[in-house]
Structures are given as structure tokens and as C-alpha cells.
Amino acid sequence: MTGLPAYRVWALPGIPEVRTGDDIAKLIASAATADGLPGLADGDVLMVTSKILSKAEGRVVQADDREAAIDAEAVRVVARRGPLRIVENRLGLVMAAAGVDASNTPAGTVLLLPEDPDASARRIRTGLRDTLGVNVGVVVTDTFGRPWRSGLTDVAIGAAGVRVLDDLRGGTDAHGNPLSATVVATADELAAAGDLVKGKAAGLPVAVVRGLSHVVVPDVGAGAGDGAGGADEGARALVRDAADDMFRLGTSEAVREAVTLRRTVREFTDDPVDGGAVRRAVAAAVTAPAPHHTTPWRFVLLESAESRVRLLDAMRDAWIADLRGDGFTEENIARRVRRGDVLRKAPYLVVPCLVMDGSHTYPDARRNASEREMFVVAAGAGVQNFLVALAGERLGSAWVSSTMFCRDVVREVLGLPADWDPMGAVAVGRAAVAPSSRPVRDADAFVSVR
């Protein structure tokens, strides 16, 4: 069986209880050279549990400060269920309670993650080179839960001297098929292998993997330097960029962020708008509440430039005629028309319409007026759903009321039924500039309790 790919992994016994100020590299070197152990060799990779680094670096706080510690370590709440918080911490890691941990630490205390796990890994690697003269890789590990999967596993939160990612894109598989999306998280695989022998409660915080020297980069002391050839990036390279993260938030947090993101956008890029994204937003819109189990929404999608220009030209002419009838000067009219050009700047327009299908007719005008108000409110709820869903698709929008002032013109140009009432127009597109900051509104200012 010789010549087949293989590796060995073993836990390193003899690591004492770690205290603040201890030199982890010296503790590992002493344990690794004990009688009966194989020692360390060039190309070995060490998996080091983050907790011993936290202890050595003094990252210990009192347990009654745990919530405050989580707050201090967290930069963003990803999901919350009861007291449990999944957060992004200051290292960019998404994990429960920001990694603040009450296990394997004296009663009454909790541990924070190392300040900089990559730097911690580099210190251990350098210390082992200086003490034992070996070129090893170091992976700092911590325990994670994972979306879609039950159970916990160790992953890499820090690394030095290890190619943390193995990018196979551009190659082919055994059948000659191109590999276009295959990037292997080598450091995470090493962390999980080490955890199989370290265990969670065995008091064995360090494991050694031998036989995978190809994942270890040249030694810093050999003149190549950390990061030789760009290979030693540290575990931060494993953290997915926000722009590429399709699962960045929990359900309720995603809804709240989409609502917050829903801002009026008046400057758009020329990027085309995905019609599928708009239709998904319409699907969200028609879940809004409505009276009498009706469906009072219709959405007219103006996907061609010709249809947009034809509608906007007709609306502009109708507006100019109204302004002239109101006695405005030609200069004032021109200025108002220019200010109203937000719809022309958008690459996509939607005209939401109200229909009264299913409405009730009453013998008195008061109840009939209230009936229409209910349908108008339902239309507004549908449009709000639509705008929020667009924000969730990372599309900007501006809901402009202009079609409500020339409904007959809109119906004629778009060939709409006589009972469809245009309820403004929504400009849709990619925002050309980031929206200005919005003052925080105190919800209590809008609440009245009886």
C-alpha cells in the first residue's frame, strides 16, 4: 500500500494548564520533544486550540460581564433567537456569541477569542523555528456550528505558514470537466482532522498532522518571508466578502435590513435591471393584506426604452399643460420639469395600479368612501412590500406620484383597462451613489399607548 496518499494525525500530550503570559511555542516544543513522541519535523502542521492562546494572552473576563463582552466583540447581529445571538465579530467571523466561551476556563470566567489569531499563529511558528529549527505550519482552531448542518466542528480562525485555500479553478477533474468554482478550504479541513484526536474535553489542545508538507509554505527564516508567493495569507482569507455572501443575515434580520435599505434613489447607473428580480419583488408585493380577500394590485413593467419614453413624454406634455393652466411662467415650468426627471434617469419603470375588484357597494357615500380608502391602503402596503423586496435584491427605487395626476393619459398610452388606477410610478435601478445617512428615528416618538 506504499505510495498511496496518506497522513498521520496525533494529539500532543503534556501541555500544562496555560496561564496569562505563558509562551505557547515553548510549551509545545517541550511537549513535542518528550520521550516516546515523534517530535516535530519540517512540513508538519500544528492545530492549536484558540482557548490556550486566549488564556496566554490574558483574554479572560468575569462571567457576569459576558453579555457586555459579546457586545464589545460583535460588529453586527446576523440572527437572534431568544437569548442566542449569532453575530459577526471584529475578526469577521460569524459565530454564536462572538466566540465568547465559558468552556475549558475556570468557573466564573469566560474567554474571548485571541486579539489577532493570525498573529498568534505567526508567533508560534517563529517560536518553534527558533527553538527546534523546524519549518511547520500553524492553524489556530475554534469550534463552529454551521448553517444547514447539525453538530459542531473545528475550523481555522488563524494560520501561519499554511496555504489556507487550495484554488483548483482552471484545472479539470478526472473526466476532463473544467473546474470553475472549486476552492478547497484546506485550513478548515486540517482543523477538523485535528479535532478528531484533540476532542472537546480531553485536555489535549494541540494536534500534529504529518504527511501533508505540500500545504506548508517556505519558512520565514529561509528568506522567503511570511506570505511567500502570496501563499501565506492567514485565516482571514477564509472569511467570505460581504458582497459574495448570499446568506448574510437571519430571516428577521434580513427583513429589517431590507426595510432599512429601502431608500429613495434618484441617481441610477446604466446597468440593466434583472427582470426576474423585479418579478420576485412583485411576488412579495402581492402578499400584502387586502380587504375582503381581494387582490387589488396590478404591476405594469416597462422593460423597453421605447415604452418608457413614450409614457414619460406623454406625462410631461400633460404636466406642462396643467402648469400653464395654473399660470406658471415658461421658466418655472422648465425648472419643475427638470426636477421631475428622476423617472427618465432610471433603466426600468414599474407602474403599480389599484383595481377595485371585489369591493363592496353601500347605499351611502360615507361607507363607499371608506371602502375605497381600504383598497388604497392595501395598494400602498403592496407597493411597500415591492420596494422592500427590491432593496433585498440590492436594487434602488424611487416611488414617484406623478402618474396619479394624469391617470387617463397613462391608461391610454399603456393600453390599460379603464378600472386600473395608476398609483404613481417606481423608478428601479442600481444606485449610482450611496444614499446619504438617515437620522435615527426614535420609535417611541411615534407610539401612543392607551
Pairing of strands 109-111, 206-210: unpaired
Q: How high is the pLDDT of residue 227?
A: 40
- What's the Cα-to-Cα distance from 440 to each of 72, 239, 257, 349, 444, rounded to whole Å? 21, 30, 14, 30, 12
Q: What letter represents residue 263's amino acid?
A: R
What are the DSSP calls for 194-230, one per residue?
HHHHH-SSSS--EEEEES-GGGBPPPGGGTS-TTGGG
Indicate the residue among 244, 261, 292 that finishes a domain.
244
Coil vs helix vs strand at 109: strand
- Residue 100: inside a domain: no
- Residue 137: inside a domain: yes
Indicate the residue among 203, 229, 244 that finishes a domain.
244
Same domain? 260 vs 239? no
Same domain? 369 vs 421? yes
Q: What letter represents residue 204's amino acid?
A: L
CATH of the domain at 177: 3.30.1330.100
- What single DSSP character describes residue 22? -
Residue among 310, 322, 342, 334 at smallest CA distance from 410: 310
d(CA 423, CA 376): 9
DSSP H helices in 262-304: 275-285
Same domain? 139 vs 259? no
Same domain? 234 vs 268? no
Same domain? 160 vs 267? no
Q: How high is the pLDDT of residue 77?
A: 86
d(CA 430, CA 432): 6
- Residue 108: inside a domain: no
- Residue 3: inside a domain: no
Q: How high is the pLDDT of residue 231?
A: 56
Same domain? 38 vs 133? yes
- Residue 75: inside a domain: no
Q: How high is the pLDDT of residue 221?
A: 56
Each residue of 32-68: pLDDT tens digit?
999 888 999 999 999 999 999 999 999 988 877 788 8
Q: How high is the pLDDT of residue 2?
A: 65
Domain assignment of residue 334, given as a range: 251-446
Same domain? 424 vs 291? yes
- What's the Cα-to-Cα distance from 175 to each of 5, 41, 167, 207, 420, rounded to whole Å? 20, 37, 19, 36, 57
pLDDT tens, the chain, 450 aa long: 567 889 999 999 999 999 999 999 999 999 999 988 899 999 999 999 999 999 999 998 887 778 888 888 998 888 887 788 889 999 999 998 888 887 777 778 889 999 999 999 999 999 999 999 999 999 999 999 888 889 999 999 999 999 999 887 777 777 777 776 678 999 999 999 999 999 776 789 999 999 999 999 987 554 444 443 345 789 999 998 887 887 877 777 777 777 777 888 889 999 999 999 999 999 999 999 999 999 999 999 999 999 999 999 999 999 999 999 999 999 998 888 877 678 898 999 999 999 999 999 999 999 999 999 999 999 999 999 999 999 888 899 999 998 999 999 999 999 999 999 999 999 999 999 887 777 888 989 999 999
Q: What letter represents residue 238's amino acid?
A: L
Same domain? 228 vs 358? no
Same domain? 171 vs 287? no
Domain count, the chain: 2
What are the DSSP calls for 389-417, one per residue?
HHHHTT-EEEEE-GGGG-HHHHHHHHT--
Indicate the residue among 210, 244, 278 that finishes a domain.
244
Same domain? 131 vs 210? yes
Coil vs helix vs strand at 11: strand
CATH of the domain at 366: 3.40.109.10
- Residue 77: inside a domain: no
Cα separation of the two ends of the chain? 80
Same domain? 435 vs 309? yes
Same domain? 141 vs 203? yes
- Residue 84: inside a domain: no
- Residue 94: inside a domain: no
Work out the angle at residue 218's Cα, subtended by the Cα atoms of residues 183 and 223, and round it to the nearest 5 degrees: 140
* Alpha-carbon torsion angle 295, 296, 302, 308, nearest 10: 180
Give the cell for residue 140: 489556530
